[in-house]
Structure formats: C-alpha cells, structure tokens
Amino acid sequence: MKLCLLVAVLLVTVTVVSCGNVSYDGRSLIIDGQRKLLISASIHYPRSVPAMWPGLVQTAKEGGVDVIETYVFWNGHELSPGNYYFGGRFDLVKFARTVHQAGMFLILRIGPFVAAEWNFGGVPVWLHYVPGTVFRTYNQPFMYHMQKFTTYIVNLMKQEKLFASQGGPIILAQIENEYGYYENFYKEDGKKYALWAAKMAVSQNTGVPWIMCQQWDAPDPVIDTCNSFYCDQFKPTSPNRPKIWTENWPGWFKTFGGRDPHRPAEDVAFSVARFFQKGGSVHNYYMYHGGTNFGRTAGGPFITTSYDYDAPIDEYGLPRLPKWGHLKELHRAIKLCEHVLLNGKPVNISLGPFVEADVYTDSSGACAAFISNSDDKNDRTVEFRNTSYQLPAWSVSILPDCKNVVFNTAKVNSQTNVVAMIPGSLQHSNKGVNSLRWDIVKEKPGIWGTADFVKNGFVDLINTTKDTTDYLWHTTSIFVGENEEFLKKGSKPVLLIESTGHALHAFVNQEYQGTGTGNGTHSPFTFKNPISLRAGKNEIALLCLTVGLQTAGPFYDFVGAGLTSVKIKGLNNGTIDLSSYAWTYKIGVQGEHLKLYQGNGLNNVSWTSTSEPPKMQPLTWYKTIVDAPPGDEPVGLDMLHMGKGLAWLNGEEIGRYWPRKSEFKSEDCVKECDYRGKFNPDKCDTGCGEPTQRWYHVPRSWFKPSGNVLVLFEEKGGEPDKIRFVRRKISGACALVSEDYPSVGLLSQGEDKVQNNKNIPFARLTCPSNTHISAVKFASFGTPSGSCGSYLKGDCHDPNSSTVVEKACLNKNDCVIELTEQNFKTNLCPGLTKKLAVEAVCS
C-alpha cells in the first residue's frame, strides 16, 4: 500500500507540497519514483557539538552511508512547559540542514520517548510532576504533552521545509520507541495508547511515512521495524510494508564500574549482509557515532559520560578502523547489487548444513547472490553454479554477478588504526609565566545556607531534587556518652546504610568516611564502614546522589532512589537505628547554587589561590586557567587520579567524571574475541579491573587559544595536579591480508558493476593527512600470527618482506602492497595460504 494514497485523502487542507516524494510497498521505500536500498547511520546531534557535525556527516557519507538518523531529545528542548530551546548542541534545524547540505537523507525519530541511555529516556522530569501523569500509557496529561511536543517539532520541520515532501531530507519519522516490549504491562491502556500514538502521528500530515520500532501491533499505514543485533529473520506484520532495521547495535554502552564491550567488525558485517540477503531494504546502525553524554544527560543509571558505543566513528570523531573501513567495503558490495535486489525475484538454495544461497534475478537477466555460512565453528566449501566457493564460519559472501565474490564478511581488508592518547601538561602562558595556579573553594559537609526542610525519616531522592541536581544532603546528630566501651578500647563503631541507589558520600564530624554505590545492573547498595565518633554530640552528614535517571522499563517514571536505613553498630546498647530520627535536608551543593562552574568571578565568592592544590580533599571546587592543547587533534581530559565529580570548560558542561574501576575479574574479559557465533554485550569485553572511563572528551570548539577556564567539583578527593589534557592521535596503521581475500579492486570506480575476474589481494595503509609513514615496525609475508601491535613471524616467512613494504610505503601518506609474485615469494611454503601482516608508524 502506498502512503501517498492514504495521506492524499487526509490532507485536504494542508498547504505543504504533496507527498508524492516518498511512498513504500512490501519491498522498499520509493523516493521520487525510484526504489531505494538505504544504509543509515545514527548520529545524535546533542552528543556532539555543531562544529563536529559537518565532519561526522561527511565521514559517514564517505563510509557508504545514505541516511543520517537521530532521535529528538524532548527534555533538551522543552525545559519547562512551553519553554523551548534549540540552541548550541540542541540546534535540530541546523543539524538537519547539515545533513541536507551533504546530499543525504534524514530519519527523524521524534519519539518523543527515546530511551537511548539518555536521562529519563528523554522525557522532561517536570512532566512526572504534572498531577495525574503516568508515562507511556493511555493517560490524558501524558498524551496531551506528548502530542503538543510532537506537533511542535513537526511544525518546526515544516516551517523550515525539511520534510522530503517539501524538498527536504526527512524521509521517515518515528513515533514512540520500542513500546512493544512494555505494552502488556499497561494492559488495555497500553494497546489503546499505542494505537492513539500511531493515529496522532499520521494526523500530523508530514507527507512521509511513519515508523514504530519493536511495535508488533502498529496499525496501517505505520511501518513496524526491528531493533536487535540480528534482524535477518524479522518480518513486518503486514506484507505491504518494507523490511526496515532501525537499530543494529555495532557495539554497546558502558556503565561506571562495568566492562568495555566490543563487537567485532566481522560479526557486524555478517548481520548486515544477512539482513539484505533476506530482503531487507533500510538498515540503520545504532550508533554510527555514539559521541558524549555531556553534562548530566547520561541516564541509566550509571551510564558513562562516554557514549562511544564501539561505533564505526569513535567518540572523538575519528573513523574506527578496521570497523569503519570494513563496513564501507560491505556497503559498496551491497550497492553493486541494489537494482537486482530491489527489482529481482529471490530464490533460496540450500547448499548443505548451515549454508544457503539467496539468488536474485531480474527481468533483464541480471543476477546477484548472497551465500552464507551460519555455522559458528566450521568453514565450508560449497559448489554454486559449477564453481567452488570457500566460506569461513559465520560469514556471507556477496556475488553481484552471481559469479565473482567481491566481499566476504569474515575477511577484513581494511587497515587497523593505532590510536594513542598523547598526554600534555595543563599550561597557562601568561606574560611568560608558565606556572599553573589553582583557585580553590572548599565546601563544608552538611547543610549550607538555610535548610530546605526537616523530616523524621527519609525522602525519595529523585522526588526531592526533581533532577535539578545530582545531590541531596541528609544530616542528623547523635550523642555518645563518655562510658562507651569503644572509646576506652580505641575501636570504631560501624555505620550501616541501606539505599535503593544510586550512591553516597558519608561524613562524620566534617570528616570523610567513605563512599557507597550501586552499579549499572543493580542500583541498590549497602554501605558498611567503621567511623570515628567522639564523646558528646556527633554530626552525621550524608551526601546522597543520583548518577543519571532511569531510561526505560514499565512504569520507569516511578523508579525511585535514596536511603531506606541508617544504623550505627558497636555501641554499648548494641545497634542504634537512626532511620526514624529527625533528618535535615538541603538540595544541591552550595557551589552549584553560586554557579561556581561559570568560573567568571561574578559570584562574590572568595577563591583561595595556590600553585599546589590540595590533594584527596573532598567537596572541593578547583579552577585554573589553561591554554588550548597544541595541534588540531581531538582533546580529552585525563582524570585517572581524580575521585568523582563534575567538570566544565569555559562554562560548557564536560560531564560527570568517575574513573571507577571495573568490578569484574580478569577472567570475565577476553584478550581476543572470536567473531563467530551470536553476539551479546558480554561476549567480547575488555577493561576488567581498569577504570571504566579515564578520558573525557572536550570538544576543540570549546577552546579559546588561551585563557580557558577549567572548573571541577570533586566530591570525594583526588589529585588535581595530575590532571592532563590528552590529544587523540592516529599514530600508526596495521594491515593483515590473506591470499584468499576478495580484492576491493574488483569494484569499478563507478561502483555499479564487477570490473573483472582478477583477484589480486592487497594491503593498503593510510596515515592521517599531514603525516606520512615514517617507519615499518613489522612486516611479514608467510604465516604471521597475532594482532595489530603484537604481530609475530611464523615458521613460514619471506625475508624480503620488510624491504618490499618499506620501498612501497616509506615517506608516503598512502601506499598499496599487492600480494603478487613480483613482490613476494608466493611459492613459499606450498600448500599454505599466505598472509601479509604490516605495522607502520605515522608521524
């Protein structure tokens, strides 16, 4: 069914251009009368900065991407009811125009619930406190505000002529997000809400189709779509809808205290190839560039400030190789098949256990085939059209002419980049003076100013702060008699705290006693620590805090946090329960109230200046003036030696920092990842026992040449003199290519046909612009082993390998080494398939 026909009936009073530009049927989207096979890439505009957008979009385009996809972040735009913001990182119109100017399409996932590991799932916290509101169900207050915001965004896009029906880039819009997982929890009101949302969206008259991901009862004309690591077996609920994959996860997110997940490029490519093999038409990577959760936008709770996601473009904006390059080659191979895939008839042929070919043939006789081996252990050799093909385990070979293999998902031709974080001291060159000075403000633990309220017992942390801050002070006091045994013995009582999350710092008589925290899989925690008490009155001050709000789940808007029990054990009377005591509360820390993060000296605060900032001092604001790091590489802040807190540069929110070590043991991580077999987020983890996040992205556009104000609020104590700027730099490149790899040279420059039947594998090395290959650290043609940075020569080795590579590559920005008998002893070690492994230095 074509959406145009339906919307033509609905749009009798609409002033925008007719919707003839975008329609669909059961095979694909149809744009301007042409079927399209589309590769899409998620880039979330507020997770980078406007200065990065053109480069990110261009890098995606160079990677073979046709479409950029983004959510719309409601709580970043509607700061209070009817108070809208579209500046800075939230300039949605500018982002859409950037995509359009690059000649690309845009998928706009309005939601406006988005999940996305974003604070409160993207819904404004203020909406939770509108009386009677329940999120994401047939609830009048929620639906009123949801429709109001959706309409506002649609009208803004119409006003700027950004829908494809107006000549703009937006070809699809999304309402709601993965609601199918939760609909049944809301019973009949869940189904009513889902149908209402779809009807409300269609009534917006955008002139482009609407989608609902993971929504198995999406009504016509809305298209239901798939989110998963694999969607080849997905089928839309109507045969009149195209097969669309809105989220293919090429990695996974991180949580403070968790591991660092990685998804191999071979498996990502396998999933994409299988999707198009089985009739897919629109595929989107979530994420293609993950970016950064600046400020307090990270949700979770416990989602890291980095949202790198192991994506094809890294957090800092650099292509992640080999993943980016391998997927680029995959996209080129798929595009060679586009016309036949979209216009041909498929036939499935079994070629043995786990091996099948899907062959597409059109009316002109053109043919394309995908041959897949889904065995996760064994390579297979099969006969197809009287030709023998070797398929590695868990791989797909693409044959755009049903004869020549131009790409196999398990054979990575792309180079691997060697990425280094180059440290540099914080410097301030002021009239020739290079000594760095720090300004300090120390906060007093406990209540500052006037208390907000006093209450017997505890309050919910989120309902009290309403997410205006991470922090809520709780204070009380106890009297200790002089006859307490622990005073005579020199022992210490134990403070026992139970909390539903997320973390706390404990202080007794102004002294820091320790930190308690949950984690990304379990927010509740128990704090148990010996404390120093004295005879007489003792002040107990607990700084309780959130680390991002819940982002999804049934009734997630009612998930709370905070203390449930506070006891002191080890007194003469046994254990004292302080839970029902009178507690005095104060929302936030004083430095936030005084806006010390602005660093402009306009807040009538007396900073103490020193060249030796205090170490391991909790509740401390640090300010220093720094120069921009040299060069043009992306910049990070090395916070390895700090505790936990918040950071700003020139008033811009860098975000939460917390170099918390992963709580997992080394055996829970892998040294090498086997790409074969189905992926899950715990399959290929690294970083066990290491800080979950050491470096924090500081966009280059935030810097001035000099006079930059860096402000930190340290909660528990660190060593600020060890803070460093780092520059993220590609310092080298590796290649590992086998004689039996398909050659990208098979693809013609026009990328629309197979050029010839010559298969000459080659290794290609490219350094960043303005650098060159200054040294070859390793080169071996034969049977080398290992991976980039740790290659080893095998028993079979051509002794001329280094000479050949150096001749081809030294002092060049880019070089190609073909695996031919002119270059290497190809008759070396008969019966073995040889490889070339190279590691080069870029400088």
pLDDT of the residue at 5: 34
- The SS3 call for residue 463 is helix
- Show the 3-state SS of 68-110: EEEECCHHHHEEECCEECCCHHHCHHHHHHHHHHCCCEEEEEE
With bands split at pLDDT 50, 70 and 90, how would you rate the model's confidence at 760? confident
Tens of pLDDT, residue by residue over 625-649, are 999 999 999 999 999 999 999 999 9
Q: What is the mean pLDDT of residues 228-238?
A: 98
Residue 496 has pLDDT above 50, yes or no: yes
pLDDT of residue 12: 30
Q: Which two tokens stand for residue 515?
A: 């930190």
Question: What pLDDT, on the 0 to 100 scale, is given for residue 753?
Answer: 46
- Pair of tokens at residue 40: 């899409």
Local confidence band at 750 (pLDDT 50, 70, 90 cut-offs): very low
What span, in angstroms and rounded, lies between the C-alpha atoms of 727 and 628? 11
Average pLDDT over residues 535-557: 98
Percentage of residues in the chain with pLDDT exceeding 70?
Answer: 95
pLDDT of 752 strictly over 70? no
pLDDT band for 708, please (50, 70, 90 cuts): very high
Q: Give one word for 796, left, alpha or beta, with left for phi > 0 and alpha for psi -120 to 50.
A: beta
Q: Is the pLDDT of residue 351 over 80?
A: yes
Confidence of residue 433 (pLDDT cuts 50, 70, 90): low
Per-residue pLDDT, 756: 43
Mean pLDDT of 772-778: 98
Phi-psi region of 615 (alpha: psi -120 to 50; beta: other; left: phi over 0): beta
The per-residue pLDDT for range 15-63, each reduced to its tens digit, is 222 234 899 999 999 999 999 999 999 999 999 999 999 999 999 999 9
Residue 758 has what pLDDT? 58
| Omega prior to 301 cis, within 30 of 0 | yes
pLDDT in tens, 130-140: 999 999 999 99
Q: What is the mean pLDDT of residues 398-420?
A: 97
Q: In this prediction, what percent of the chain has a pLDDT beyond 90?
A: 92
pLDDT, position 15 = 26
Active site residue 443: no
The answer to whether residue 602 scores a pLDDT higher than 80 is no
**Residue 293: what pLDDT?**
98
Determine which of 300-309, 421-430, 474-483, 560-569 has the lowest per-residue pLDDT on average.
Answer: 421-430
pLDDT beyond 60 at 332:
yes
178 is a catalytic site residue: yes
More confident residue, 386 or 600: 386
Residue 728 has pLDDT above 90, yes or no: yes
Backbone φ and ψ of 22, nearest 5°: -130, 125
**Quick one: average pLDDT of 329-349?**
97
Q: What is the pLDDT of residue 742?
A: 83
Q: Are strands 38-43 and 67-71 parallel, antiparallel or unpaired?
A: parallel
> How confident is the model at residue 434, as a pLDDT?
58
Q: Is residue 562's pLDDT more than 60?
A: yes
56-65, 322-331, 715-724, 825-834: lowest mean pLDDT where?
A: 825-834
User: In this predicted structure, what is the pLDDT of residue 634?
Assistant: 98
Condensed to tens digits (0 to 9), the pLDDT of residues 281-305 reads: 999 999 999 999 999 999 999 999 9
Q: Tell me the three state secondary structure of residue 144.
A: helix
**Using CA atoms, how far apart are residues 671 and 682, in angstroms rounded to an integer?**
13
pLDDT band for position 746 (50/70/90)? very low
What is the pLDDT at residue 652? 98
Which among 183, 247, 266, 839 is annotated as catalytic?
247
